[in-house]
Amino acid sequence: MNALVHFRYVSKRFGADFAVRDVNLEIERGKMTALIGPSGCGKSTILRLIVGLLTADTGEIQFDGEKIAAETIMKIRRRLGYVIQDGGLFPHLTARHNLTLQPRLFRKRCDEIEKRITELCELTKFPSSGLDRYPLELSGGQRQRVGLMRALMLSPELLLLDEPFAALDPLVRMNLQRDLKEICTRLQQTVLLVTHDLAEAAFLGDEIALMNEGQIVQRGLIADLRAKPANEFVREFISAQRGLVQL
Spatial separation of the C-alpha atoms in residues 14 and 157, rounded to whole Å: 30
d(CA 7, CA 222): 22
- Pick from 84, 50, 28: nearest CA to 207: 28
Asked if residue 88 binds other proteins (CB under 8 A), the reply is yes
Residue 189 interacts with Mg ion (CB under 5 A): yes or no: no
Running DSSP on this structure, what letter comes out for residue 64?
Answer: T
> Taking CB under 8 A as the rule, does residue 123 contact other proteins?
no
Cα–Cα distance list, 119 to 97, 116, 127, 152, 234 (Å): 16, 5, 11, 11, 41
Stretch of residues binding ligand ADP (CB under 6 A), selected from 40-48, 103-111, 128-136, 198-206: 40-48
By beta-carbon proximity to other proteins, the closer residue of 68 and 84 is: 84
Residue from 20, 31, 36, 44 touching Mg ion (CB under 5 A): that is 44
Residue of 40, 67, 106, 242 interacting with ligand ADP (CB under 6 A): 40
Query: Pick from 52, 141, 205, 229: which binds other proteins (CB under 8 A)?
Result: 52
Sequence-distant (≥ 6) Cβ neighbours of residue 201 within 8 angstroms: 34, 36, 193, 195, 208, 222
Pick the closer one to other proteins by CB: 92 or 186. 92
Residue type, 81: G
CB-count exposure of residue 81 (10 Å: 0-12, 13-18, 19+):
buried
Residue 210 binding ligand ADP, by CB under 6 A = no
> What number of chain residues touch Mg ion (CB under 5 A)?
1
- Using CB under 6 A, which residues numbered 105 to 124 contact ligand ADP? none
Q: CA–CA separation, 150 vs 96, rounded Å?
A: 9
| 93 lies in the binding site for other proteins (CB under 8 A) | yes
Is residue 19 part of the contact set for ligand ADP (CB under 6 A)? yes
Minimum CB separation from Mg ion for residue 215, in Å? Answer: 16
Q: How far, CA to CA in Å, does 142 sit from each of 125, 146, 173, 175?
A: 9, 6, 11, 11
Which spans of this chain sit near other proteins (rule: CB under 8 A)?
Answer: 48, 51-53, 74, 77-78, 80, 82, 84-86, 88-94, 101-102, 105-106, 134-137, 150
Which spans of this chain sit near ligand ADP (rule: CB under 6 A)?
Answer: 14, 19, 39-45
Which spans of this chain sit near Mg ion (rule: CB under 5 A)?
Answer: 44
